[in-house]
Amino acid sequence: MRKMIFAVILAAVLWFVIFFPQHHAESNFWWRMSFSTSIIGAMSLYLGRGLKRYFAFNWRDAFIGLSSAALLWGMFYVGNWLSSLMFSFAEAQVDSIYALKEGSDKWLLGALLFFLIGPAEEIFWRGYVQQLLEERKGKQFALVATSTVYALVHLWSFNFMLIMAALVCALFWGLLYMYHKNLLTLTLSHAMWDLTVFVLFPI
| Confidence (pLDDT) at 61 | 92
pLDDT at residue 24 above 70?
no
Mean pLDDT for 13-26 is 78
Confidence of residue 182 (pLDDT cuts 50, 70, 90): very high
The reply to whether the predicted model has a pTM over 0.85 is yes
pLDDT in tens, 31-83: 999 999 999 999 998 887 777 777 888 899 999 999 999 999 999 999 999 99
Alpha helices in the chain (DSSP H): 2-19, 29-47, 59-86, 90-98, 106-112, 118-122, 131-137, 139-152, 160-179, 183-195
Confidence of residue 21 (pLDDT cuts 50, 70, 90): low
One-letter amino acid for residue 31 of the chain: W
pLDDT in tens, 158-174: 999 999 999 999 999 99
Query: DSSP character for 27?
Result: S
pLDDT in tens, 122-137: 999 999 999 999 999 9
pLDDT in tens, 184-201: 999 999 999 999 999 999
For residues 119 and 184, what is the distance between their CA atoms, to the nearest angstrom?
9
Mean pLDDT for 107-114 is 97
Number of domains comprising the chain:
1
| Confidence (pLDDT) at 189 | 98
Residues 6+ apart with CB under 8 A from 136: 1
For residues 28 and 104, what is the distance between their CA atoms, to the nearest angstrom?
8
48: domain range? 2-200
